[in-house]
Amino acid sequence: GQQLNQSPQSMFIQEGEDVSMNCTSSSIFNTWLWYKQDPGEGPVLLIALYKAGELTSNGRLTAQFGITRKDSFLNISASIPSDVGIYFCAGQPETSGSRLTFGEGTQLTVNP
């Protein structure tokens, strides 16, 4: 099946710092999605990207669909304690009928 490599696996940062995480794939994707999961809750969609090169913001979050269509990154600026959680990337491969593939997640800890 398709593999998504998400990095880093975990991050420990100070409040106010910027954060960057990314996902890469060996194959071409049509869609990239970024989700955040709080402890004990389901993943919540943060940003959806549908075109190569697309750069989309949602408040302090910015995500980009890589030009090669094989990667995406998510940036969080000026982190705050409530940014704590697990961030997942997900992508839909170009192959017809393929399902969303999820990364293994980035665990973010923000120290006040």
Partner 1 sequence: ETGVTQTPRHLVMGMTNKKSLKCEQHLGHNAMYWYKQSAKKPLELMFVYSLEERVENNSVPSRFSPECPNSSHLFLHLHTLQPEDSALYLCASSTGYSGNTIYFGEGSWLTVV
**Binding site residues, partner 1, CB under 8 A:** 30-31, 33, 35, 40-45, 48, 50, 88, 92, 97-100, 102-105
Candidates 68, 61, 63; CA nearest to 33 is 63
Q: Give the integer Cα–Cα distance in Å for 78 and 51.
A: 27
CB of 77 to partner 1, least distance (A): 24
CB of 104 to partner 1, least distance (A): 5
CB of 18 to partner 1, least distance (A): 26
Q: Which is nearer to partner 1, 11 or 33 (CB)?
A: 33
